Amino acid sequence: MHRDCHVCRSEGFTALTRVLARSGDRELVATLNVVVDNRLDLDVAALSEAAWALLQPSPDAWALFSHPEPPASAPALRAKVFGQRLGETDFLAIMRDTVNNRLSDIELTAFVTACAGERLDNEETIALTKAMLAVGERIDWGSGAVLDKHCVGGLPGNRTTPIVVAIVAAAGHRIPKTSSRAITSPAGTADAMEVMAPVALDLDAMRNVVEREGGCIVWGGNVRLSPADDILIRIERPLDFDSDGQLVASVLSKKAAAGSTHVLIDIPVGPTAKVRSVAAAASLEARLRETAQALGLNLSVLRTDGSQPVGYGIGPALEARDVLSVLRNDVDAPRDLRSRALDLAAALLDAAPGAVPGKGRTIARTLLDGGAALTKFLAICEAQGGFTEPGAAPHARPVLANRTGQIQAIDNRRLAKVAKLAGAPGSATAGIYTRVRIGDSIQAGEPLFHIHAHSPGELEYALAYAAAHPDIFGIGAAE
Catalytic residue numbers read: 242
**Separation of alpha carbons 364 and 307, rounded Å:** 25
CA-atom Rg of the chain in angstroms: 24
Q: How far out from the chain centre does Cα 477 lie?
A: 38
**Separation of alpha carbons 372 and 272, rounded Å:** 36
Dmax over Cα atoms in the chain, in whole Å?
77
Contacts of 189 (CB under 8 A, 6+ apart): 159, 161, 162, 177, 179, 180, 217
**CB-based contact 13:21 (threshold 8 Å):** no
**Separation of alpha carbons 12 and 6, rounded Å:** 10
Contacts of 290 (CB under 8 A, 6+ apart): 122, 125, 126
Going by the DSSP 8-state scheme, the letter that residue 352 receives in this structure is S
Tell me which residue of 159, 167, 205 sits closest to 371, measured CA to CA. 167
**Separation of alpha carbons 93 and 74, rounded Å:** 9
The secondary structure element, H or E, covering residue 399 is strand 395-400
Alpha helices in 56-202 (DSSP H): 74-81, 88-99, 105-114, 122-134, 161-170, 189-194
Q: How far out from the chain centre does Cα 470 lie?
A: 29
Measure CA of the first residue to CA of the last residue in the chain; give whole Å.
Answer: 68
**Separation of alpha carbons 380 and 334, rounded Å:** 23
**CB count in 10 Å sphere of residue 61:** 10
**CB-based contact 217:179 (threshold 8 Å):** yes
